[in-house]
Amino acid sequence: MHKAYILLGTNLGDRLSYLQQAKTCIAQQVGEVLAASSIYETAAWGLTDQPSFYNQVLVVKTTVEPDNLLQQLLNIETQLGRIRTIKFGPRTIDIDILLIDDLVNQSAILQLPHPALPQRKFALKPLAEVAPNLLHPVEKKTISQLLQACTDTLDVQKITPTAS
């Protein structure tokens, strides 16, 4: 059994609906959703000339192994209309694996923990809400400590209370 920390992001269409649909698909196809952070709104990162994103972190209990988990999450993105055209471009849904247990993995398709996690406040802030004392297996700091040290200047605003 694994505990996966998954980041959802969306900046097209009905963003709240896409987050809920992704959460439902993950619960049906991947494993039990143990916790969900509040929803946060953040200006686009990377390619900035696009609508702002809604982000949410899910904590999921799953028996699916990491590489297969990534494939299942990519399939859910496709089910929800994700079309990959421009790197960092607008999307109906983006699903990233931030961490799985304390695994450090460098497969051909998946790096764990997510290599950019310490530099991205839009991922750290919701993750710190659901797992503040979780230890990053490479940085050897808690998620709260990583958030405090993060130099990302993008404004990340909570728009909902903790979701169910």
User: Where do the domains of the chain lie, and which CATH numbers do they carry?
Assistant: 2-115 (3.30.70.560)
* Residue 15 appears among annotated catalytic residues: no
* Residue 94 appears among annotated catalytic residues: yes
Tens of pLDDT along the chain (164 residues)?
A: 999 999 999 999 999 999 999 999 999 999 999 999 999 999 987 777 889 999 999 999 999 999 999 999 999 999 998 877 777 778 889 999 999 999 998 888 899 999 999 999 999 999 999 999 999 999 999 999 999 999 999 989 999 754 44
Of 14, 15, 94, 120, catalytic: 94
pLDDT at 91: 87
* Residue 120 appears among annotated catalytic residues: no
Residue 107 near residue 65, CB atoms below 8 Å? no
Conformational region of residue 14, where left means phi above 0, alpha means psi within -120 to 50, and beta covers everything else: beta
* Residue 152 appears among annotated catalytic residues: no
Q: What is the CA radius of gyration of the chain?
A: 14
pLDDT at 161: 58
For residue 163, count other CB atoms closer than 10 A to its CB: 16
